[in-house]
Structure 1
Amino acid sequence: MSQYHYSPLSSPRDSIRLLRLMPHEDETADIQCELFEYSLQNSCKGTHPYDALSYVWGDPYEKLPIFIHGHSFHVTVNLRAALSHLRNHSIERILWVDAICIHQENLEEKENQIQAMAKIYGQANRVVVWLGEAADDSDLAFEEIRVAGHKKATNSLGSKRIQQAVLALLQRPWFRRIWILQEVAAARHVLILCGFKKIDGYAFCLGVDSLKNIYEARQDLQGLIRSVTYLIREAIFRPDYLTGNSGQSSLDICPLGELIDMYHAHGATKRHDKVYALLGMSSDDLSKVDLLPDYRVPWEKLFQRLAKYLLPKNISVETWADKEIAVIKSKGCILGKISSVRSNIGWNGGQDVDVISRNISGAPGLTGEWSSHWTLHPSAKSIMIGDVICYLQGASKPTIVRVCKDYWAIVIIAATPPHTIRMRNEDVEFPFFLQLAKLRTRNLQFIWNWENSLWKLQGQEEYEESEVCLDKVLSSWNSALVLGDLEEYKRAEEKFREAMEGYEMVFGKENIHDTVAERLPLADGADLDLMNSRYSRPSRPPLSWAAERGHKAVVELLLRTEKANVNLEDMDGQTPLSLAAVGGHLAIVERLLQEKAKVNPAAGYFVRTALQAAAGGGHLAVVEAAAPRKGRGQ
């Protein structure tokens, strides 16, 4: 039998195809259908007499035939089962089904139809959710959910079988598919089917909420279910028309950045759909943004465009064709650190956090500690105590990041700040506070990771080995400066040490070139001595690390900033000069002496002077250079 061939739509932007599912009394009979064109133009009021199907395609390589106008058309096994259960024994049904009603091989038509999907689902009489065939006691789970929604209390916690049945149902692939979010977010009425069981969407949500004790211990599952049930529950309250920006159909739920934060962990057959599936839910005006559906754009380019839309356009973004990961570099400042986290008891799983800072910005007007309370939107990554809030130059919203072992990871790309910041018993409006905070900037590097697996810079095959290590060195140096801003001095010193050791690995201890050292990103206002309130002196400031290891170019760079104290003693009483003398680094000794480093500082009983250290190591040239002379600091 010949294959079905599509006829083009007369008006691709205003028309859709609808599927007429023909009735049959025999449930095992072949599925016979018809396709016809239907116009949605000037149809912003009310709904239309068709049902829109929300389902998971299933294995694309396992297909079965249906028949359209007598011609063969292959669909996935799961879709074939859905059509079989939806078919009436005597009356035809009118459906919209994406895999059939959109000519999937026509990219231009597909892209136009995707932009209209919020309207397609929003103007349907109802959205039918197909969870799949009955399995794993799904009939029992449906009945328990129905009863729980009605009575608000069940004995399910005492029945292991019921618990397992409910969990199995809620872990079905439909709940993790990213397209279903827009489909149920647009719906005015939802009906949920599983096998021959069906339940009203609102009743389903009431029952699932009543049974939350079954799945609340599963943090990943809890977030998925809560967000989906909220969208389904709201269906009956939605207006009979869609709002949109610049003529685009939109559900106007929230900004795209928040949608990405919430849902980027959902699954999609094509990576592009992790962006395209959320556009119809966004409250942003995307009419002039290069994010509209276009599957000819390589994934890595689309990911770059997304990052530059959500963050300043002047950021540096590196992406890869086979990874959902971006390395982002930009200038920015640190606003604060999260000191406490409380889960929001609302539907969305958002978090209430407290943020503190002890003059993190470095601005004279912000001396002392300030604090604020933030209510953050839900996120695929949960906020933790110690996470850092930063602001990238030119961004519309702050970003929340987390210090990991080898990099800084983005937790929330676009966090909505409070209107005011509490500072010195006075409320300061956030924009004014931000103007002051911008006085100190840092070179920041983050990894935005949408994948579940932990990913490190060393894993990038696109980098040469030396470039990987060098990039890690620069990242460690930047991290040290930021940690210093956060007054986490011990961790800052560890990062400085990592940076020095990294240079040795790449270039050798005696071969650190000036051109490489100059890449170290020293920002204005850097506290290169890492002083803090607990100790009178740091355990090992950066200048001492460089002097001890003989890194002349790094020492020169630090001295040029005029911010490093050449006579600062570490926790052991050692100065940069004495540490350079111990190693016999003559050039560094001479350079420190030019900066009036003291040869015989007031050291402790067990601490050697620079001369003693050089002599003990047999470094006669250093002894000669450091010997007290007229006019030299003593």
Structure 2
Amino acid sequence: MSEYRYSQLSLPTSIRLLRLLPSEKDAKSLRCELFDYRLRNSNKPSHPYEALSYVWGSEDKPQTIIIDNQSLDVTQNLYTALLHLRDHGCSRIIWIDAICIDQANDKEKEDQIPLMAEIYAKAHRVVVWLGEAENDSDRALEAIRLTGETTARISNTELDQTAFLQLLQRPWFRRIWVLQEMAAARHILIICGSIEIDGHAFCSGLDVLGAGFKFSTSQVAFLIRGAIFRSRNMSRKQGILSLDICSLGELIDMYHSHQATKRHDKVYALLGMCSDDLSTAGLEPDYSLPWRVLMQRVVKFLLSDHVSVDTWNEKETAVIKSKGCVLGKVATVGINNVSGGRQNVKAIIKTSPGCGISGSASWLLQTSAKSIQNGDLICLLRGALMPTIVRLRGDHFTVVVIAAVPPKHIHAKNNDVEWSELAQSASFIRDFLLIWDWETS
């Protein structure tokens, strides 16, 4: 049988969908069809297909599926997912990145990646495949469902807590692309082995089970919980659907420790979620761009062109040199569970002598990949619009939060001071050596 050969998409905004054909007899043979689909051919808010969210796992492709009487090699995890998803009586229409995008065609990938938020947003349902059942993971998922339904805590005698932890530590929860998929989805179904659970029920069960379980999945669970509340009408920027969750700096601060097969995806997977205008930033998907260049562009976009940046192709680290000033330090840090686990940060602010501005500020910041600690310093680099939170390490500073959304007001002794007034009073006389490391939390 010949190897499957992709035909060119009919339009730049077209996608492919997979028709997973039914079978009652041949349990191991997966037969499918691929067809072009115009996602914008109507104003319908949802379309009659599902979108799969899963982990590629190993890059090895030991399994084969049949598409239009041609063979296509796929990973073991995807093959197993398709076996579970296949219906014996009727076809199932699914969008799957590894199949519906020609992975050998970088140009097509760069064209399709900006459409992915829209693909997941317009899917009738997003199906999360956590993998085969093992170590009682399927029982743990069922227990989470029952716990959310009955609002009663599952006793330790019914199921060992290790089973819950092993389920919630599966690679899917740390995959970078998952974030956009869950942020766009409006109806989520989570599957492990033969057990299925609604996404909202999953979050409700975690709430009852307690903070220890909820914390390990807090960033993803927060996005899953919001699915049923999302508007069907979403904005577009430069013709591309945008989720407008928050700034790119906040997204990178929160999620840069998540995992990606390619380093580029630690940036590209977040573009559809950000609220910034990226038209002149040079951050559009381009896999031919060396990683060190992409990371330099990210740093300069988040800070300014005034900074000097050194990066490397084999590292997720930037060494940043800049003039700047210390505005203050973090006094206390707490967690605000009402606001999706955001961090309550209180800071003591004191600008350079002679400017006459000092006081305190209370921030509500997104939970960052690196935890903010008491004593961390708040600095403003020359040209930057937002402050950076850093920690002194010998002869340099490590970056904790690259672009903290500033508070509107500083509570001074006599009156409140606008952030803009504080920033304008800063004197950029200090030399900063900063190390921003994405690989260590």
1:446 aligns with 2:434: yes
Matches within 5 A, 1:248-397: 248-346=240-338, 348-357=340-349, 359-366=350-357, 369-397=358-386
- The alignment covers a number of residue pairs equal to 441
Matches within 5 A, 1:45-84: 45-84=44-83
Distance 1:103 1:230 in 2: 32
Distance 1:212 1:40, change over 3 A: same
1:324, distance to aligned residue in structure 2 (A):
0.3
Matches within 5 A, 1:499-514: none
- The answer for the alignment partner of 2:134 in structure 1 is 135
Distance 1:45 1:441 in 2: 56
1:62, distance to aligned residue in structure 2 (A):
4.3
Distance 1:305 1:160, change over 3 A: farther
1:188 aligns with 2:200: no
2:200 to 202, 206, 228: 202
1:213, distance to aligned residue in structure 2 (A):
4.0
- The answer for the alignment partner of 2:33 in structure 1 is 34
1:150, distance to aligned residue in structure 2 (A):
1.1
| The 10-residue stretch of structure 1 (116-125 or 25-34) with the greater mean CA deviation from structure 2 | 25-34
Deviations 1:183-210 (A, max 9, x none): 1111110011111110111111111121
Distance 1:294 1:160 in 2: 50
Distance 1:159 1:313, change over 3 A: farther
One-letter identity of the residue aligned with 1:92:
S
Distance 1:364 1:121, change over 3 A: closer
Residues 119, 242 of structure 1: 8 Å contact kept: no
1:159, distance to aligned residue in structure 2 (A):
3.5
Deviations 1:104-148 (A, max 9, x none): 111111111001000111111010000001111012101210111
Residues 303, 383 of structure 2: 8 Å contact kept: yes
Residues 362, 440 of structure 1: 8 Å contact kept: no
Q: Secondary structure at the match of 2:146?
A: helix
Normalised TM-score (structure 2): 0.97
Unaligned residue ranges in structure 2 (runs of 5+):
none
Distance 1:347 1:131 in 2: 27
Q: Secondary structure at the match of 1:346?
A: helix
| The 10-residue stretch of structure 1 (29-38 or 205-214) with the greater mean CA deviation from structure 2 | 205-214
Distance 1:253 1:197 in 2: 31
Residues 17, 37 of structure 2: 8 Å contact kept: yes
Residues 246, 285 of structure 1: 8 Å contact kept: no
1:294, distance to aligned residue in structure 2 (A):
0.3
- The answer for the alignment partner of 1:155 in structure 2 is 154
One-letter identity of the residue aligned with 2:4:
Y
Distance 1:294 1:43 in 2: 29
One-letter identity of the residue aligned with 1:381:
K
Distance 1:452 1:280 in 2: 25
Residues 396, 434 of structure 2: 8 Å contact kept: yes
Deviations 1:242-291 (A, max 9, x none): 21223222111111100000000000000000000000001111123200
Distance 2:6 2:352 in 1: 61
| The 10-residue stretch of structure 1 (343-352 or 185-194) with the greater mean CA deviation from structure 2 | 343-352
Q: Secondary structure at the match of 1:164?
A: helix
Distance 1:407 1:75 in 2: 46
1:298, distance to aligned residue in structure 2 (A):
0.3
Unaligned residue ranges in structure 1 (runs of 5+):
217-221, 454-634
Residues 345, 363 of structure 2: 8 Å contact kept: yes
Matches within 5 A, 1:17-32: 17-26=16-25, 28-32=27-31
Matches within 5 A, 1:466-481: none
Residues 390, 401 of structure 1: 8 Å contact kept: yes
- The answer for the alignment partner of 1:238 in structure 2 is 230
Distance 1:26 1:201, change over 3 A: farther
Residues 382, 428 of structure 2: 8 Å contact kept: no
- The answer for the alignment partner of 2:116 in structure 1 is 117
Residues 372, 422 of structure 1: 8 Å contact kept: yes
One-letter identity of the residue aligned with 1:178:
I
- The answer for the alignment partner of 1:173 in structure 2 is 171
Q: Secondary structure at the match of 2:356?
A: helix
Distance 2:108 2:417 in 1: 51
Distance 1:440 1:272 in 2: 33
- The answer for the alignment partner of 1:630 in structure 2 is none
1:162, distance to aligned residue in structure 2 (A):
2.9
Distance 1:252 1:407 in 2: 34
Distance 1:139 1:132, change over 3 A: same
Distance 2:151 2:2 in 1: 54
Distance 2:158 2:301 in 1: 48
Residues 141, 165 of structure 1: 8 Å contact kept: yes
Deviations 1:423-460 (A, max 9, x none): 12321111112222x1352111100000128xxxxxxx
- The answer for the alignment partner of 1:414 in structure 2 is 403
1:100 aligns with 2:99: yes
| The 10-residue stretch of structure 1 (26-35 or 137-146) with the greater mean CA deviation from structure 2 | 26-35
Q: Secondary structure at the match of 1:36?
A: strand
Distance 1:425 1:63 in 2: 70
Distance 1:346 1:380, change over 3 A: farther
1:164 aligns with 2:156: no
Distance 1:419 1:81, change over 3 A: same
1:405, distance to aligned residue in structure 2 (A):
2.9
Deviations 1:365-422 (A, max 9, x none): 23xx522212222100110011000011111111000011342000001111111111
Normalised TM-score (structure 1): 0.68
Distance 2:55 2:63 in 1: 15
Residues 28, 83 of structure 2: 8 Å contact kept: no
- The answer for the alignment partner of 2:13 in structure 1 is 14
**Structure with more of its chain in helix, by fraction:** 1
1:27, distance to aligned residue in structure 2 (A):
6.3
Distance 1:440 1:4, change over 3 A: closer
- The answer for the alignment partner of 1:504 in structure 2 is none
1:347, distance to aligned residue in structure 2 (A):
5.3
Q: Secondary structure at the match of 2:153?
A: coil
Distance 1:310 1:128 in 2: 34
Residues 44, 241 of structure 1: 8 Å contact kept: no
**Structure with more of its chain in strand, by fraction:** 2
1:160, distance to aligned residue in structure 2 (A):
8.2
Distance 1:440 1:41, change over 3 A: closer
One-letter identity of the residue aligned with 2:75:
T
Q: Secondary structure at the match of 1:38?
A: strand
